[in-house]
Structure 1
Amino acid sequence: MGSFPTITIQTILGAPGVKDNNLKVLTKTKNGGLTECMKSIIYKEDVKEAFYLLDLDVVMSLYDKWTANLPMIQPFYAIKSNPEKSLIGTLNALGANFDCASKAEIETVLSLGVSPDRIIFANTCKLESHIKFAASVGVNLTTFDSIGELNKIHKWHPKCDLIIRIKAPDDSKSRRPLGSKFGALPTEVSPMLQAAKSLHLNVIGVSFHVGSATNDGDAFIKAISASKTVFDTAAQLGMPKMRVLDIGGGFLANSLFEDVATAVKTGLEAHFPNEPGLNIISEPGRFFAETTVTLAANIIGKRTRGEVREYWINDGTYGTFHCVIRDALNEPLVCKPLSCKGLKTYSSNLFGPTCDSRDVVLREYQLPELEVNDWLVFPNMGAYTYAFGSSFNGFKTSDNLFYLVTSS
């Protein structure tokens, strides 16, 4: 994979996906920061729709954080977490590769000039038409966890390099465990490898995923150990030596990331101490997306019932806040007014704009007295938010605007 030269913000702003995305770039000040950027959008551009701020400085610092703590692991950004082209373009310029799960995602990444050999088609059950498309554009690395998938690949992309995905031994401490749907069981590994060998398919490595959003370093150690067993099984079956270990995603960009990274390195040192030519990759999505985006939403309606305040905003659970109903959030959703009109707070309910009574963003949340056309700010809204947006009831998440912000 090699190392990458220092990338400047000017390089980022000139990168494909950033320069040609027609997004306005705002400059943060030391005193005002994102707040002043939001005010300039609201008051100077008279914006009423909800909008996002993508902080390029945060993206760059996260990439530095990754390479400082896990320099031996090449990140393949999982674009499903946030497919905004300016984010993909920034990570491309920084040196990341990409995890795609569909034809459309592959097309998005290729449209930014990314070489197909920097893409892993990381979906263990693919549409046949998508497999054929991957073959036609030269995406030659994919995952599988069933013999049925091997048969499809043999028919439509037989020269593709394969990675067998195994079920992580323990994903119980993740926000969203994935093992019930993805990953071969230990008893299935040998028959699957034998099937691949009989089909003359090239299995070059092992992958796993310990679940979405986790701080459990031990889960990585257990999964790395299980992966080593699969490497040994392939060798016993007389297959060519495996050369790729994919440790999946699930990383959080919080204060515990360094501890998780240390656990990963401990697992690698214990189970893969002397593996010349071993290529270790990962599929972080949330790590690079979550904390990079801030959402601003406008209050479009208000109702007072005694001491309770109820507000409607122009985004909801059918849009950016789908995560409220999808994820059992470990930490409460954070909401704050753009400008506070008083110190007293009230128990407040926050509704989305649709006609579904389940479109509730927050209940019994403490907020100061607010009025229609005031604004609320939600940090850490970059992962599995915009990506889940729909057009239910005619409210299109795609109408929300993106703005880029930087300190220089």
Structure 2
Amino acid sequence: RKLKVLDKKRQAEEALRQWIQKTPAERENLLHLMSSLELNYKDRKEVNRAMSYFGESFINGPELVQFALTILNFDFEAEQKQVVAQLQKLLDKYANYDVSIDKEVFVAMLKEYRTKVDKAYLPDLYQTIDTLYGGNEQMYVDTLYAHSELTSPRGLKRFLERDTTFHMIDDPAVSLGIDLIVKLFDMRSQMAEASDNIEKDEREFNAAMRRMYADRNFYPDANSTMRLSFGTIGSYSPYDGADYGYYTTVKGIFEKVKEHSGDPDFAVQPEVLSLLSSGDFGRYADTKGDMNVCFISNNDITGGNSGSAMFNGKGELLGLAFDGNWEAMSSDIVFEPDVQRCIGVDVRYMLFIIEKFGKASHLIQELKIE
């Protein structure tokens, strides 16, 4: 919001829209472009929202549904030891299974899903609820659980001992699972269709932008290729009164451990804390006897960059990129070099951990360290 990303994108879109209207050759080919993008963005947003609720309400919701889906995906023709292992894993899920709680959850999820999504995304079970149970979810759930074999390990055993798997769908929970799978595939198909249309339209959009700004340089599409980015190590000030230096030291580790005591995200092994508290950093220490841990630069960073090597101008390894600062979360959309930073772990700290904590001095001996 601070970078006004949405406003900038809207301005660029409006500029392209006007250019298309003023350029006869473009108007003939691209008049449909904006409306097509808007329609498919809307369709994808709706189905994506429905799929999110679908997953929470059914796929990851009532355990009876999960039992049924497990049965439907069960590989009965696998090797015997694999079948036994899968069966045991399924049986283990019954250890803490409470039918009454599961029924209560199912009723709540059925009601919630109906109120949150368009009726086009309702699976056929809702038609069953409306026509056979007068729209009463509780009556439907009570009947379902009363007639399914999958509500207990004993029932599951009876279910699996039948002559063939042909009669699997006779169980109402398994039949329900099939209904849900059909609806899920239907929504995924809608999502794929909208995404394909968007991809096609965005190619036309970007091509039109390049024609409109023919004298401007554009970044190439470097997806699925090796690429390098360059930047400068430096501090930054995200807002008035805040100034973050360009590196952190061991002292910061102890401060974080103390400040966030009990938080597993900030837990450090006692052995590491003991090594760091000794202050014996050897050749990895700076001129003041301290040791750097992390540093920041204005390199661009994106998902999948974690572990990327960071070199100086001489080709010497400085560290590994592993994160971006909070202000850099929008960098995939717009990059602001004044506040967006790439966070790297200092190679000296890495070597210290390898040598002292990992006790892998033989690896250190293979390296050229300056």
TM-score (norm 1): 0.22
Judging by fraction of residues, say which structure has more helix. Answer: 2
Pick 1 or 2: higher relative contact order, CA cutoff 8 A, min separation 6. Answer: 1
Judging by fraction of residues, say which structure has more strand. Answer: 1
